[in-house]
Protein backbone atom coordinates (compact mmCIF):
# COMPACT_ATOMS: atom_id res chain seq x y z
CA UNK A 1 0.00 0.00 0.00
CA UNK A 2 2.97 2.32 0.49
CA UNK A 3 3.87 2.09 -3.18
CA UNK A 4 0.37 3.26 -4.07
CA UNK A 5 0.95 6.66 -2.41
CA UNK A 6 4.20 7.24 -4.29
CA UNK A 7 2.69 6.26 -7.64
CA UNK A 8 -0.29 8.54 -7.10
CA UNK A 9 2.02 11.37 -6.03
CA UNK A 10 3.89 11.03 -9.33
CA UNK A 11 0.80 11.19 -11.54
CA UNK A 12 -2.13 13.03 -9.95
CA UNK A 13 -0.70 16.58 -9.55
CA UNK A 14 0.53 16.68 -13.17
CA UNK A 15 -2.82 15.47 -14.48
CA UNK A 16 -4.63 17.95 -12.25
CA UNK A 17 -2.60 20.87 -13.61
CA UNK A 18 -3.28 19.78 -17.19
CA UNK A 19 -7.00 19.29 -16.43
CA UNK A 20 -7.42 22.69 -14.78
CA UNK A 21 -5.45 24.35 -17.58
CA UNK A 22 -7.85 22.96 -20.16
CA UNK A 23 -10.87 24.08 -18.14
CA UNK A 24 -9.71 27.56 -17.10
CA UNK A 25 -7.47 28.20 -20.15
CA UNK A 26 -4.90 29.76 -17.85
CA UNK A 27 -1.86 27.83 -16.65
CA UNK A 28 -1.22 30.06 -13.65
CA UNK A 29 -4.75 29.64 -12.31
CA UNK A 30 -4.42 25.89 -12.84
CA UNK A 31 -1.19 25.71 -10.83
CA UNK A 32 -2.66 27.82 -8.03
CA UNK A 33 -5.82 25.69 -7.86
CA UNK A 34 -3.77 22.50 -7.77
CA UNK A 35 -1.50 23.95 -5.10
CA UNK A 36 -4.52 24.92 -2.99
CA UNK A 37 -6.06 21.45 -3.28
CA UNK A 38 -2.88 19.67 -2.28
CA UNK A 39 -2.09 22.23 0.40
CA UNK A 40 -5.44 21.58 2.03
CA UNK A 41 -4.92 17.83 1.89
CA UNK A 42 -1.48 18.21 3.49
CA UNK A 43 -2.98 20.42 6.21
CA UNK A 44 -5.73 17.88 6.87
CA UNK A 45 -3.11 15.15 7.34
CA UNK A 46 -3.75 12.88 4.37
CA UNK A 47 -0.04 12.46 3.64
CA UNK A 48 1.96 9.84 5.51
CA UNK A 49 5.45 10.74 4.39
CA UNK A 50 7.48 13.82 3.56
CA UNK A 51 8.66 12.06 0.39
CA UNK A 52 5.10 12.00 -0.91
CA UNK A 53 4.89 15.77 -0.45
CA UNK A 54 8.20 16.22 -2.28
CA UNK A 55 7.08 13.99 -5.17
CA UNK A 56 3.78 15.92 -5.33
CA UNK A 57 5.65 19.20 -5.68
CA UNK A 58 7.89 17.74 -8.35
CA UNK A 59 4.89 16.39 -10.24
CA UNK A 60 3.21 19.79 -10.07
CA UNK A 61 6.26 21.32 -11.78
CA UNK A 62 6.24 18.55 -14.39
CA UNK A 63 2.56 19.23 -15.08
CA UNK A 64 3.39 22.90 -15.60
CA UNK A 65 6.17 21.92 -18.01
CA UNK A 66 3.76 19.69 -19.96
CA UNK A 67 1.37 22.62 -20.33
CA UNK A 68 4.24 24.83 -21.51
CA UNK A 69 5.60 22.34 -24.05
CA UNK A 70 2.25 21.43 -25.60
CA UNK A 71 0.68 24.92 -25.34
CA UNK A 72 -2.46 23.51 -23.79
CA UNK A 73 -3.77 26.90 -22.74
CA UNK A 74 -3.95 28.14 -26.34
CA UNK A 75 -7.27 26.85 -27.66
CA UNK A 76 -8.77 27.95 -30.92
CA UNK A 77 -12.41 28.94 -30.52
CA UNK A 78 -14.37 27.56 -33.42
CA distances from 54 to 35, 38, 42, 73 (A): 13, 12, 11, 26
Split at pLDDT 50, 70, 90, the class of 78 is low
pLDDT digits (tens, 9 = 90+) for 18-52: 999 999 999 999 999 999 999 999 999 988 889 99
Residues present in the chain in total: 78
Q: Which DSSP helix (H) or strand (E) runs through 19?
A: helix 2-24
Segments making up each domain of the chain, as ranges: 2-70
Amino acid sequence: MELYWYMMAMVVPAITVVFFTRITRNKYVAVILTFIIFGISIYRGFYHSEWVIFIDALSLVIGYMIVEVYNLEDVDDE
